[in-house]
Structure 1
C-alpha cells in the first residue's frame, strides 16, 4: 500500500505517541504525597492499606466509588476492549 511521504511505520508511531502522551497526562493528574487519615467527604477513617496503595488518597472507598460514578469513570476503556468490538 502506498503511504506517500510517511514511513512504513508512521501510523504505529503516531498511535504510540498518542498513548504515551495520555499515560503521562494521567500520571500527572494522580494525587501525590501522603494520603489523608480521614475521608474529606464523610470523615470516615481511611485504612492504612488504602493509604499505602493509593498515594495522596483523599476519599474512602465508598466516596471514591460515588465520585467515579458521578464523573463517568468506568475503570477501563470499553471502546478498546475486545468484547465491545465483537458486539
Structure 2
C-alpha cells in the first residue's frame, strides 16, 4: 500500500512512541522513596503492607479514598463495554 513519504508501519510506530512517552511521564510523576509511617492528614498508622505495595505512600486508605472521590476518580468502568450496549 502506498503511503507517500512514510514507510510501512510509520503510523503504528508513532502511536507506540506516543504511548511509551506517556507511560514514562506517568512513571516519573509517581511518588518514590520511603513512604510515611503515619498518614499526613489524619496521623493514623499506615500498614507495612501498604507501604511496601506503594512506594512513597503518604496517606492511609481512608484518606486516599476521600481524596480520590473528591477528584472524581473511579476505579470502575461505569460506561460498560460495547458488547453490553449492543445486547
Q: Same fold (TM over 0.5)?
A: yes
After the TM superposition, list the runs of 4 or more consecutive aligned residues in structure 1 that deviate by more than 3 angstroms. Answer: none
Helix, strand or coil for the counterpart of 1:73? coil
Inter-partner Cα distance in structure 2 for 1:75 and 1:20: 22
Matched, 1:58 2:58: yes
TM-score by length of 2: 0.80
Deviation of 1:74 (Å): 3.0
What is the RMSD of the two structures over their aligned residues, measured on CA atoms?
A: 2.0
So what's the TM-score if we normalise by structure 1?
A: 0.80
Give the length in aligned residue pairs: 82
Structure 1 regions of 5+ residues with no counterpart? none
Deviation (angstroms), 1:49: 0.4
Which digits, 9 at most, give the CA deviation of each residue in 1:4-49, with x for residues without a partner? 1111201111111111011101111111111101111111110000
Distance 2:73 2:10 in 1: 31
Question: What 5-or-longer segments of structure 2 have no aligned partner?
Answer: none
For residues 32-77 of structure 1, give each alpha carbon's deviation from its aligned partner in whole angstroms, at most 9, with x where no partner exists.
111101111111110000001101000011111221222233347x
Distance (whole Å) between structure 1 residues aligned to residue 16 and residue 74 of structure 2: 23
Query: If you compute each CA radius of gyration, which structure gives the higher value, 1 or 2?
Result: 2
